[in-house]
Amino acid sequence: MQSLTIVPRLFPLILSGEKRSTIRFRETRIVPGPLRYVCDVDAARTIVVDVIRCTVMQLSEAARFLGREEDWPKEVMLEGMREHYPDIEWGDQVQIIEHLAPAFTPAPGRSDG
């Protein structure tokens, strides 16, 4: 199963379903289907979600694409992304990974979710 690490402060937001996307820079390409998020300081904490769409675009387009332009103006977006990717620039290509909330993710091997 494909997987990505996630910082501890974002883990509860994924678990609650409030966070249903992630923006990644120069990481393994993710494809639609099951994805395991692993807490980067406690690998025993995991959440499985169902990825529904993956889109590659410039970072400068990401906030608009996700409907978060008011929340993430350029300075806020760059500061937040540089917390994880210090070398990222406004024009760099990123992958936006969108997924269902865990409660709506079918259990492995099931197709009724």
Task: Enumerate the domain spans of the chain.
Answer: 2-104
Reply yes or no on whether the pLDDT at 109 is more than 60: no
Which tokens sit at 48? 């499985």
CATH fold for the domain made of 2-104? 2.30.130
CA distance 34 to 60: 28
Q: What ranges in the chain are assigned the alpha helix state H?
A: 11-16, 59-65, 74-84
Reply yes or no on whether the pLDDT at 111 is more than 80: no
* pLDDT score of 113: 38
CA distance 113 to 106: 4
Q: Which residue has the higher pLDDT, 110 or 13?
A: 13
Percent of the chain past pLDDT 90, that is, above it, reads: 90
Q: What is the mean pLDDT of residues 96-110?
A: 77
Q: Give pLDDT tens digits for 14-67.
A: 999 999 999 999 999 999 999 999 999 999 999 999 999 999 999 999 999 999
Length of the chain: 113
